Amino acid sequence: MSKVITNKIKKSISELVGKTPLLEIVNYEKENQLEAEIIGKLEYLNPANSVKDRIAKAMIEDAEKKGILGSGCTILETTSGNTGIGLAAITASKGYKLKIYMQDGVSEERTKVIRAYGTEVIPFSDVPEVAEAIEKTEGDFVEVINVFKKAVVEKEENVVFLNQLENEANPKVHKETTGPEIWEDTDGHVDILVATVGTGGTLSGAGAYLKSKNPNIKVVGVEPGISSIATLDNPDIVEITGVHRFSDVGDERVPANVDQNVIDEVIEVETREAYEAARAVAKSDGILVGTSSGAAIWAATRLAKRPENKGKRIVVILPDTGLRYLSTDLFE
């Protein structure tokens, strides 16, 4: 058979990252009698099923450009799961060695998926200094990363720590892809952007781009409510994976990639509310999303119910798939 040349056939999963669709959750809107549009950006349709595929690709390509991924080098990253999964997929296809250090207590399918791509996973609890920092600071992940740098990165040879919390390639890729995709797919008709905040990369990058096109666009960050944060006294509280409080904590606890200047409002969502919204959209519109997506939809619903937002269009980032939560209570 002759070889037909076509540029539609991709040669690497990196080429499949981004350009995710927008979907208006019309049945959910009707059921909740909303008079504003809620449009989900379906980031679970990325090749490794989350928004983090974007930063995984961007951080690797940035390190390649800087020439820091020499032969025999091992890439390190800390993650609550999705960044590790995106990196595991992309490094598998590019032939790099990767080691993922992961927060304990996140859903077990995250570890399984990363290992399936051939990547080593080390729980934070296996690094005593990190485990101690987590306990002492009740999970302040900025401090945990500082301890990780000293306890692991500085002690290992020939490693590159990507560090999504500080890596500028993180917000940059959202400014260059997520934001423009929203602008183009809505023909510039967007009033409000809603996203949860972990590293802050998604909201800061996409928000900055949209505001550069139209300064009137409102950018809303979503953080867990106070009753949804595990503490030393209450370690069993179920948290919203990957999402952190950033509005009322000390500056030293806010990741470098959170740009507070871009964010107009912060809405708190409790885990049970996030569950409720994720369960509702699965039944109403057939989209199966994770807890942070549920939190963002819950916040968008609150915004849609405000009289001043009647007739407005709210775009909500839906970071990952509900399939990543089957071992949790989300769909029980």
Ligand X SMILES: Cc1ncc(COP(=O)(O)O)c(C=O)c1O
- Which lies closer to ligand X via its Cβ, residue 31 or residue 176? 176
- Which lies closer to ligand X via its Cβ, residue 35 or residue 166? 166
197 interacts with ligand X by CB under 6 A: yes
Q: Are 177 and 167 contacting, i.e. CB atoms less than 8 angstroms apart?
A: no
Residue of 29, 62, 140, 320 interacting with ligand X (CB under 6 A)? 320
Q: Among residue numbers 242 through 261, which ones bind ligand X (CB under 6 A)?
A: 242-243
Active site residue 14: no
List the catalytic residue out of 41, 52, 175, 218: 52
Q: Are 86 and 57 contacting, i.e. CB atoms less than 8 angstroms apart?
A: yes
- Which lies closer to ligand X via its Cβ, residue 73 or residue 326? 326
Buried b (16+ CB within 10 A) or exposed e, 205-218: bbbbbbbeeeeebb
18 interacts with ligand X by CB under 6 A: no
Q: Among residue numbers 72 through 101, which ones bind ligand X (CB under 6 A)?
A: 80, 82
Active site residue 292: yes
Give the SS3 label for residue 61.
helix
Size of the site for ligand X (CB under 6 A): 16
Q: Convert 288-323 into a string of H (helix), E (strand) and C (coil).
A: CECHHHHHHHHHHHHHHCCHHHCCCEEEEEECEEHH
283 Cβ partners below 8 Å, 6+ apart? none
292 interacts with ligand X by CB under 6 A: yes
Q: How far is the CB of 274 from ligand X (least distance, A)?
A: 10
Q: How far is CA 66 from the centre of its chain?
A: 25
Site string for ligand X, 24-53 (x = CB under 6 A): ------------------------------
Q: How far is the CB of 310 from ligand X (least distance, A)?
A: 28
Find the residue with minimal CB distance to ligand X. 242
DSSP labels, 112-148: HHHHHTT-EEEEGGGSHHHHHHHHHTTS-HHHHHHHH
List the catalytic residue out of 14, 204, 292, 293: 292
Cα torsion for 17, 278, 111, 46, to the nearest 10°?
Answer: -10
- Which lies closer to ligand X via its Cβ, residue 111 or residue 292? 292
- Which lies closer to ligand X via its Cβ, residue 218 or residue 324? 324
Residue of 18, 40, 139, 290 interacting with ligand X (CB under 6 A)? 290
Ramachandran region, residue 81 (left: φ > 0; alpha: ψ -120 to 50; beta: rest): left
Residue 318 bridge partners (DSSP) = 42
Residues that bind ligand X (CB under 6 A): 80, 82, 196-202, 241-243, 290, 292, 319-320
Q: Which residues are catalytic?
A: 52, 292
